[in-house]
Every structure is written in structure tokens, then in C-alpha cells.
Structure 1
Amino acid sequence: MDVDPRHYEQIAIKDNDIHSIVVSYLVHNCYRETLEAFVACTGMPEPADYIEDMEKRKEILCCALEGDALKAIELTEQVACDLLENNKDLHFDLLSLHFVELVCAKKCTEALEFAQNKLMPFGKEQKLLEKLENFLSLLAYEEPEKSPIFHLLGLEYRQCVADNLNRAILAHRNLPSYTAVERLIQQAIVVRQSLNQDHGKVRHG
């Protein structure tokens, strides 16, 4: 039976529950050394089957974040061969990272050729057409970092793509694509909304 949200404060939280939440976060974000130190301190069993997966994902994510998107794509296809084929949005986003690197390096001719060969085929899908147009418009600026879409050049965009790639790889391998912390936050938001609705009903009842 579901617990009334108003009684959550009375529920005891065990150390093992907290430890599991921390482990979930560390595994998700590929913090292997921190994970090993944490399980050693707490005496928890190390999730050995995740170690190899963490190392592979970490290498892929580092490539995406450091501007080597083509290598990230190559490695992704090795660990999840059909992932990008079935997720065109993610595939486009990864290719766009390489396009951005070419633009930032002032390799405009190479960037245009890459866009024609790799990005433009995605324009057949309406949902990706606007994205494609935004990236191509970067070529019109001598200083793209001062353009209205400068955010596409920054670390925040690369981080967003890397996060989406990480979740997709985890889901492809039948592992949780969100950490326990994120799920708890989502649940807390739902509970708060439920309590607010109940409070509103009482006030207007």
C-alpha cells in the first residue's frame, strides 16, 4: 500500500539505502576511483560487472567533451552497434560537435563539406531541419562566438550531448539511465505537487 506523503518523515532511512544512492551516482558518472574508495570505506560489495562498462563509457564521454566527436561515434558503435542508427537525434548531435570544431578552427570549407556529406541528410526529418539550419548559419559569421546561436559552440552544449549519449548507452545496455538521486528528485517534485493539490482542495473545499 502506498504511503501517505505526509507520513514520509516517519520512514526510517537505512545506511545501505544511502550507500546505494551514492553508488548509483558514481557508476552513472563513471567515477571509478571514487567508487572503489567508497565501497572500500563502507564495506559494500563492488559492482564488478559495471567496471568495464564504466571505463568504456568514460572514454566515449571524454571524446565527446574534448571535441573528438568522430572518435566518440566510433567507440559508441563498438559498444552499442545499432544505437546511433536508431537514435538519429543523438547521431546528429554528435556529428554537430565535429562540425562546430571545424567552424571554431576556421576550417570553413572543410566544415561545409562535412555538413553537406554528414549533416544535410538529416534535414529530411522536419524535427532536425531547424537544428541543421542553425548550425549551417554559423558559417555566415566571421566570429561565430558572437552570433545569436553562440551557445552551440560552448561546453554546455557538449555536456548536454555527452549526458544524452551516456543515458542512451546505459539504456541500450539495460542499465538505469537516471541515477537514484535524479529519480528521488523527480519523486519529490511529484509528492510536493500532490501535497499542494491536496492543500488547495482543503482551502477551497
Structure 2
Amino acid sequence: MRKGESSARKEIKRDEWEKRLNDVKIRKEDMNKLIMNFLVTEGYVEAAEKFQLESGTEPDMDLGTTTDRVAVRTAIQYGNVEAAIEKVNDLNPEILDMNPQLYFHLQQQTLIELIRNGKLQEALEFAQEELAPRGEENHDFLEEVERTVALLAFEDPSTCPVGEFLDISQRQKTASELNAAILTSQNHEKDPKLPNLLKMLIWAQAQLDEKLRYPHITDIVNATMEDPIV
């Protein structure tokens, strides 16, 4: 902040700011729909069913298809890529046929799981037979193949410069990509609305910073605010 900038902006005290926030009326029904959207999109079926009973809020998609989608996601999270592919093809074989990048990432995850389980010869053969041909067709794929195969060069792959491939977050990344593709194939939004609203909150605060000094929401999880710095 430049010298003299803070004095040029209007300051709103905490009590006035909180009053303004409290004056904004949000319907409980809208909040419930937002929560239900998050639960269903992220695949928390049991929580969605319980929330439906408690709030009377109807999910915006069939919970039966959500259960199938969760089964796919769970298979990836446990490293069972082959089972996930079979379940996806049972749901809609066009999902993988129409998304070569997603299919490549599933094959890449298969390679990672082979390396994780110490099946190094099988991993090398899989890379040569399944991934290398795809890398020849796509330069971006080739770079990913080379980075993944680098895991084979280390006795302890977790110490490899690309050891993050073995982190659980890599499974989560692949599972989320597959989850989004299934939702899109079912004509649903691939991302829950709540995170986007939180991003809008952060953006709105950044815009207000140019004009006002006011209490900021610094902890989104707990909705705590800090007074403006004097």
C-alpha cells in the first residue's frame, strides 16, 4: 500500500459492516440447495440422503447415478484403475472414447500403480505397449510418459524428483477429472457451486479493497473477520 493511500479510502467499522451483512437476506431454501448441490456433486450420497430427509431439499440429480459415480471415484482412490474403467464403460462407454486425454491419464495412473506395487517389469512393458504409442501421437502426453517412467530409475521412487506421482493427491486428481467427465456426460455441472461462490467472495473483497477499508473475512472455513489495518 502506498503512503497516504489508506487515508483516501472510506473506512467502515466492524459494527456497521456486520449490520450491513446481517441486512442481506438469504433464503434458507437457497442455502439448502447450495449444500445439496455440493454433497451430490462431490458424491457424498449418504450425507445427501440424510440431508434430504432433514431439510426436505430434493437433490438436483438422481442419487442412483451418484452412487455409480462414487463407486468409480472410490476405485481410483484405492488404486484400482482397471475396475474404474470397467465401471465407467458400464455407465457410458462414450465417456472415454470421446476424451483421449482422460483415458491417457487413467493409463498413466495404471502405470503409477504398477510402480507403486513394485511390479517394475510389468510397468516397463505397460509403458512401452500402452503409453509410448500415445506419446508419439501427442507431445504433451510424451512428456508425461517420460516423467512417469522416470520413477523406474530410482530404487526408492518416492525420492525421485517426480515422486509426487506416488502421492495420494495424484489419485485424487485423476479421480476428480474422471468424476467431472461423468457429470458432464450426464448433462450436469462438473463442479459444485459452493467453491465458485467462495472464489467470487475473494474476488469481491479484492475489488472493495480499492475503495474501502473494512473487516475482511480471512478464514473462510470459520467465517472469521479481521479489522482493517490502521
Normalising by structure 2, we get a TM-score of 0.77
Decide which of 150, 161, 177 is 1:164's aligned counterpart.
177
Decide which of 147, 152, 169 is 1:134's aligned counterpart.
147
Deviation per CA, 1:145-177, whole angstroms, max 9, x where unpaired? 111111101111101111111111111211011
Q: Is the 8 A contact 1:25 1:179 kept in 2?
A: yes
- Please say which structure displays the higher CA radius of gyration: 2
Decide which of 33, 41, 47 is 1:20's aligned counterpart.
33
- Segments of structure 1 that go 5 or more residues without pairing to the other structure are 1-5, 200-205
In the TM superposition, residue 128 of structure 1 has moved relative to its aligned partner by 1.6
In the TM superposition, residue 78 of structure 1 has moved relative to its aligned partner by 2.3
Amino acid in structure 1 at the alignment position of 2:53: A
Decide which of 36, 43, 47 is 1:34's aligned counterpart.
47
Instruction: Measure the CA separation in 2 of the matches of 1:183 and 1:149.
Output: 30
Structure 2 matches for 1:18-97, cutoff 5 A? 18-47=31-60, 49-97=61-109
Amino acid in structure 2 at the alignment position of 1:31: Y
Deviates more, 1:149-158 or 1:95-104: 95-104
In the TM superposition, residue 66 of structure 1 has moved relative to its aligned partner by 0.5
Instruction: Measure the CA separation in 1 of the matches of 2:93 and 2:211.
Output: 48
Question: Could you say which residue in structure 1 is the equivalent of 2:223?
Answer: none
Bigger proportion of residues as helix:
1
Q: Is the 8 A contact 1:103 1:139 kept in 2?
A: yes
Q: Is the 8 A contact 1:70 1:95 kept in 2?
A: no
Bigger proportion of residues as strand:
2
**Which structure would you say has the larger RCO, counting Cα contacts within 8 Å and 6 or more residues apart?**
2
Q: Is the 8 A contact 1:64 1:72 kept in 2?
A: yes
Normalising by structure 1, we get a TM-score of 0.86
Instruction: Measure the CA separation in 1 of the matches of 2:91 and 2:204.
Output: 38
In the TM superposition, residue 196 of structure 1 has moved relative to its aligned partner by 3.8
Deviation per CA, 1:93-145, whole angstroms, max 9, x where unpaired? 11112111111222111111111121112212112221111011111111111
- Segments of structure 2 that go 5 or more residues without pairing to the other structure are 1-16, 213-230
Question: Could you say which residue in structure 1 is the equivalent of 2:168?
Answer: 155
1:184 maps onto 2:188 in alignment: no
Question: Could you say which residue in structure 2 is the equivalent of 1:119?
Answer: 131
Amino acid in structure 1 at the alignment position of 2:208: L
